[in-house]
Amino acid sequence: MKGGKRELTFAILFGCPANIERHILGRLSRVKQYSSYPLVLPAIFAELERDRMKTVVKATVKAIEDEILKLGVVGSSEPREVEMRESRKNAWLNANNLRNSLRIWKEQLRKMAEQVAELSSVHQGKMIEGVFWQDKCENQLGNNAALKSSMERTGAMIRDQLQLLIEDHEDRIQDCTVGIEGMTIATQWPRF
């Protein structure tokens, strides 16, 4: 507590299980000097979403691989064949939708990284046209060089972490693409 003021951050997590809540609170308790940085919580949420998406991508790619393996089954009855085609189509559509969602999420991560750069400019005292909270930020940081330096370090750490998350999402997008292309090729084999 400095000068009678406390730096507080509030967040509401909807649909968050207790174990994730404990994880977030544990992370915040370990980053005390960085916890007042505006993008700490969104960066933690982004990491949690990355971990969740790894599981989703793995399950989706496995479903496509299973459908590809079923293509080799010969002699299915007509109703069973219709069911198998529907199952393959659903697996393919799910993978495409997941890949598109990952692309959108990757773009959001890129925008977060841009916001880190904007915050860095504000902390360095540079004016950003149209940013209404700049005066408030300047008033809070004042001439406190240590706080500005801490904010700069925190911003750099978050920017680096966001870049890693973006690269990880590229890998997940590629995993989906490989599965989708594999399904496309496998469905063409019987026609040759």
Mean pLDDT over residues 53-57, rounded?
A: 95
* pLDDT tops 80 at residue 53: yes
What's the pTM? 0.74
* d(C-alpha 65, C-alpha 176), whole Å: 11
* pLDDT tops 90 at residue 163: yes
Query: Looking at residue 145, what is its pLDDT?
Result: 72
pLDDT digits (tens, 9 = 90+) for 111-161: 999 998 888 776 555 555 555 444 555 555 555 677 677 778 888 899 999
Structure confidence at residue 9 as a pLDDT band (50, 70, 90)? low
* pLDDT tops 80 at residue 10: no
Q: Could you write out the DSSP letters of every residue in 11-51?
A: ---TT--HHHHHHHHHHHHH-GGGTTSTTHHHHHHHHHHHH
Query: Looking at residue 187, what is its pLDDT?
Result: 81
Lowest mean pLDDT segment, chosen from 51-60, 63-72, 74-83, 118-127: 118-127
Is 31 or 122 the better-scoring residue by pLDDT? 31
Mean of per-residue pLDDT scores for the chain: 81
Q: How many CB atoms lie within 10 A of CB 135?
A: 10
Burial class (CB in 10 A: 0-12, 13-18, 19+), 50: middle
Query: Looking at residue 62, what is its pLDDT?
Result: 94
Cα–Cα nearest to 108, from 166, 54, 57: 166
Phi, psi of 2 (to 5 degrees): -110, 125
